[in-house]
Amino acid sequence: MTIHSKLPRVGTTIFTVMSALANEYKAINLSQGFPDFDMPEALVELTCQALRDGYNQYAPMAGWMPLRESIAAKIEDMYGVSVNPDTEITITPGGTYGIYTAFTTVLQPLDEVIVFEPAYDSYIPNIEVNGAVAVRIPLEFPSYRINWNEVRARITPRTRMIALNTPHNPTGSILGEEDIAQLRQIVADYDLLIMSDEVYEHLIYDQAPHQSMLRYEDLRQRAFVNFSFGKVYHCTGWKMGYCIAPPAFTAEFRKVHQFNCFSCYTPAQVALATYLKDREAYRGISAFYQQKRDYFAQLMTQTRFKPLPSHGSYFQLYHFDHLSPLSDKDFSIWLTQTQGVACIPVSAFYQEATDNGVLRFCFAKKEETLEKAVERLMKV
């Protein structure tokens, strides 16, 4: 018996490869995007209490209503937008799941989706497994900005959706007001939908506003907007997130969701419903991670690596091509094996492995972890 792969070009992700290599060589892991510090103690206690109180059976398919109500209150507080918790919010087992489900809800065979590279590695496989086509457009290097004229040039009658990610993984770039103006015009002119990956919504720096699709009614009515609790509350292993979309989109989204996951971990939903009622539970996250970004940047001035700006996420890119003729993948492996620091080659975020001599480091770590890593990087 043979199986004809729906994803013949897909292998093990670079995140798994580099984390395994880090474990093998006892390296400091600044590769995969997860914190090495604990989630908020108050959230731990609320979760334990939910377990003790017996919230251990299935939650409703769309999610625990008090949690959806807390999310709606947060959205109104942050963006001044009223979202209906009953018909527009669905709790998901992580942001990546929400992204996959949004694509699966919409895409028909041979539909086209515009994807900007470097791109989070799930987008293109999610598109292709649905029989659709990813139209890849490179972000302009080294600013990693979108060339909207090229977007217009690549739209065809088959173009169905644009995939956006802000703050952006892996580059830390963010959408600005001009980007939003261009996007609004394009989706209206060509009647396109939006998949917006906003899992780093609260990790945005230097007092820049987060240009969420939820801020703009015309964009919101075209968008599936995906978020993550794991990223912002230091509990990536929870795999908890949510998708916000207009009622008609949400109804179709839930048709796919109910036969795939059905419902998510109940105790965490109960805990989060209470935790989010405190505005500081989400308003203080940006300052927390900006301090880590700034501390890592300060430490890295002692090395020969050259930084690129990071305006959001918990990633920082660094040039190394003046240090070595190796490819970014080979240099990442060399760093892990010989210097004991694991990172991610940015070429891994391009389908055709575009190599600009840039590495991605995750700074969502304890200060002592960052200090030890930089001590080793100083020797390069």
What's the pLDDT at 14?
81
Gap between the Cα atoms of 45 and 191, Å rounded: 47
Q: Which CATH number fits domain 57-280: 3.40.50.10860, 3.40.710.10, 3.40.50.1110, 3.40.640.10?
A: 3.40.640.10
Query: How far, in Å, are 59, 126, 142, 292, 306 from residue 318 at the CA level?
Result: 43, 29, 11, 16, 5
What's the pLDDT at 9?
85
Which one, of 76, 142, 171, 155, lies nearest residue 111 by Cα? 155
Q: What are 9-29's pLDDT values in tens digits? A: 888 788 888 989 999 999 999
3-state secondary structure 204-272: ECCCCCCCCHHHCHHHHCCEEEEEEHHHHCCCHHHCCEEEECCHHHHHHHHHHHHCCCCCCCHHHHHHH
Query: Does the fold of domain 57-280 match that of domain 14-32+284-377?
Result: no
The SS3 call for residue 136 is strand
CA 210 to chain centroid, in Å, comes to: 14
Gap between the Cα atoms of 45 and 31, Å rounded: 30
CA 58 to chain centroid, in Å, comes to: 27
What's the pLDDT at 13?
81
What's the pLDDT at 160?
98
**Ranges of each domain in the chain:** 14-32+284-377, 57-280
Low-confidence ranges of the chain (pLDDT < 50): none
**Fold adopted by 14-32+284-377:** Aspartate Aminotransferase, domain 1 (3.90.1150)
**Which pair of tokens denotes residue 351?**
């389908």
Q: Which residues contact 325 (CB under 8 A, 6 or more apart)?
A: none
Residue the block writes with tokens 């405190």: 278
What's the pLDDT at 12?
79
Tell me the whole-structure pTM to 2 decimals.
0.96
Which one, of 142, 75, 15, 12, lies nearest residue 279 by Cα? 75
What's the pLDDT at 32?
85
**Which pair of tokens denotes residue 126?**
């999610």
